[in-house]
Amino acid sequence: MRIGEIYDLLNEISPFELQEGWDNGGLLLGERSQEVSRVVLSVDIDEAMIDEAEGDTLFVLHHPLIFSGLKRLVWSEYPAVLLKKLIRKNQALIAMHTNFDVTHLNRYVFTEVLGFEGAECEGFVCYAEGDWEAEALLAQVKERLGLPTMRVVGEKARIERVAMTTGSGASLMDGVRADLFLTGDIKFHDAMKAQATGPMLADIGHFESEKFFPQALSPHLKNLPIPVIIAQSKNPFRYI
């Protein structure tokens, strides 16, 4: 199957034009006329994944391997060390990042993984209303995401409105209208700000909240005439 055919399908599922201006989704390695024999879905890519995959594989990733402008390709440096392996095996890359966050991933994690019903999504933020005991709700979120620990800012007895953004969403905090905001990569000064003026915050991890990208995308590719494989990337962090 040609990459261009797959790209066009992905663009129908989640238009690349919806990505943020700073993002770098789309076809990052390969060409539209290139033939591929399988598709591998993953949040990120590493050397082991490239080595295990056959040649003529198209990787569809959540995070762009090439993010900012490349000024040099030194094979011992990142991301060149991975690009070299991909090129040698005639493998290709497409990234679906902020466009897929907006159209699919945030809603999928909020409803299918965390189990919030009646979700409303505004841009990158999903909302649900209800009546939850705060500690029980946080324990449920922690369990469903497989979090070994959870950093929490602020304290409330009950939650009536919860908001969530997968990945790194603390910069959206000023526009969030909720008792509890779930997101990842919460920085110290974000925490200080929330403690003074904002909602209760819970850090649900960048990787842990986005690791469901393959599961969210794969049902939309079930009719492809080539295999679609889920290859879950590894969290670069370990907890001790």
Residues with Cβ within 8 Å of residue 232, at least 6 apart in sequence: 42, 43, 211, 214
Q: pTM of the entire structure? A: 0.95
- Residue 232: the pLDDT is 82
| C-alpha closest to that of 214 among 232, 193, 187 | 232
DSSP state, residue 101? I
| C-alpha closest to that of 113 among 166, 185, 169, 150 | 166
Please say whether the beta carbons of 14 and 33 come within 8 A.
Answer: no
- Residue 7: the pLDDT is 98
- Residue 197: the pLDDT is 86
Instruction: Work out the pLDDT band at 2, boundaries 50, 70, 90.
Output: very high
Domains defined for the chain, CATH in brackets: 3-96+212-230 (3.40.1390.30), 100-204 (3.40.1390.30)
Question: Tokens for 188?
Answer: 């110290």
User: In the predicted model, what is the mean pLDDT of residues 40-68?
Assistant: 96
- Residue 69: the pLDDT is 83
Which tens digits make up the pLDDT trace of 63-77? 999 998 888 999 999
Phi then psi for 34, rounded to 5 degrees?
-70, 135
- Residue 129: the pLDDT is 97
User: In the predicted model, what is the mean pLDDT of residues 170-188?
Assistant: 96
d(CA 187, CA 182): 13
User: In the predicted model, what is the mean pLDDT of residues 40-61?
Assistant: 97
User: In the predicted model, what is the mean pLDDT of residues 139-156?
Assistant: 95
* pLDDT above 90 for 179: yes
Please say whether the beta carbons of 161 and 174 come within 8 A.
Answer: no
- Residue 83: the pLDDT is 97
Which tens digits make up the pLDDT trace of 186-238? 999 999 999 998 799 999 999 999 999 999 999 999 999 999 999 988 899 98
Give strand ranges (E) for 147-235: 151-153, 158-168, 180-184, 200-203, 228-230
Instruction: Work out the pLDDT band at 154, boundaries 50, 70, 90.
Output: very high
d(CA 20, CA 16): 9
Question: Tokens for 10?
Answer: 């992905």
Please count the CA atoms within 13 angstroms of the CA of 73 that sit on its side-chain side.
8
User: In the predicted model, what is the mean pLDDT of residues 58-62?
Assistant: 98
- Residue 39: the pLDDT is 98
- Looking at every residue in the chain, the average pLDDT score rounds to 96
- Residue 108: the pLDDT is 98
What's the farthest any 2 CA atoms get from each other in the chain?
A: 57
Using DSSP bridges, classify how beta strands 158-168 and 125-133 pair: parallel, antiparallel or unpaired. antiparallel
Dihedral through CA 49, CA 50, CA 53, CA 56, nearest 10? 150
